[in-house]
Amino acid sequence: MTEDKKLFLDYLMQVYGQCNTHLLEQGKKRDQVVSFYVVVLSFILTNLNYLKRDFLGRPTVLIIYATLMIAGGIVILILADLRSWHTQYLGAIYTINWAIANQKRFETVDELQVQMKAIMEDSLNGGVEHRNNPWILLRKYAFGSTDNMVYTGIVFLVCLPIFGIIGYFNWSLPISEQVLIFLVAFSLILYGSQIYLAKKLKQGETYNTWILSFDYNGKVGKDGSRRL
């Protein structure tokens, strides 16, 4: 093994360790965001009568419900972004695993880098869009993994204040119709959130990540100028 190749493999192992560390951090951030929203939601819903009495009266309820849904929407965006980074780190780890396992097949660092880039490009060009089929979209992104089910659960919690909004306007609807309205609203919000999640995951999969970028000197244009 040449000295350059040994140094390159050592570098890959360092990147591998950093990717694993960041993966754990992404999981912790997700848990913190979810826990924070659940705690706030539980506190507000269990103390709603006291808040209504001590603040602005009945309008306080509508403000609280609207705030909960807005905050929940922000949580959904954050979770989708974390999933995108999670995808990038996993992709880098898979590529490094392959490189370490197959490094003996390549005599030089350049040959190994070329093959690693080919693997990443295959990943970038792969994947199938399912946005035109809501059933495939929901099955894949709503219940396809533990992370997806956590995401779906948060969407459900975000939709809970809809019941309170219905009650606020005193529509005097039977419980069955209230449940129907909730289910329709939940389905629409879930579908929209899954489209957003699919978009973010696709961005993570198709992003030519800097984690394993070997073009440290930038790219050179046709005119010889350097583009960073």
Could you report the per-residue pLDDT of 120-131, keeping only the tens digit for each? 776 554 444 545
Helix (H) or strand (E) holding 226: strand 226-227
What's the confidence (pLDDT) of residue 174? 83
Q: Is residue 220 one of the residues assigned to a domain? A: no
218 in a structural domain = no
Amino acid 168: pLDDT: 75
Instruction: Let me know if residue 42 belongs to a domain.
Output: yes
The amino acid that residue 179 corresponds to is: V
Q: Is 105 left (phi over 0), alpha (psi -120 to 50) or beta?
A: alpha
What's the CA gap between 177 and 183, in Å, rounded? 10
**Is residue 156 in some structural domain?**
yes
pLDDT above 70: percentage of residues in the chain: 78
State residue 128's pLDDT score: 45
Residue 114 lies in a domain: yes
So what's the pLDDT on residue 209?
A: 60
Q: Quote the domain boundaries for residue 166.
A: 3-213
Q: Max alpha carbon distance in the chain (Å)?
A: 79
Number of domains in the chain: 1
pLDDT at 73 over 70: yes
Cβ distance 58 to 176 under 8 Å?
Answer: no
pLDDT at 51 over 80: no
Q: What is the pLDDT of residues 153-199, one digit of tens each?
A: 999 999 988 888 887 776 677 888 888 888 999 989 988 998 888 88
Contacts of 49 (CB under 8 A, 6+ apart): none
Residue reference for tokens 């929209």:
192
Would you place residue 65 in the very low, low, confident or very high pLDDT band (cuts 50, 70, 90)? confident
pLDDT of 44 strictly over 80: yes
Give the confidence band of 225 by pLDDT, cuts at 50, 70, 90: very low
Residue 226 lies in a domain: no
pLDDT at 33 over 70: yes
Q: Which two tokens stand for residue 184?
A: 């329709």
* pLDDT confidence of residue 37: 93
Quick check: is 221 in a domain? no
Per the prediction, the chain carries an average pLDDT of 79
The answer to whether the CB of 87 falls within 8 A of the CB of 203 is no
Asked if residue 82 belongs to a domain, the reply is yes
Looking at the predicted structure, is the pLDDT value of residue 110 above 80?
Answer: yes
> What is the rounded distance in angstroms from the CA atom of residue 228 to the CA atom of residue 220?
8
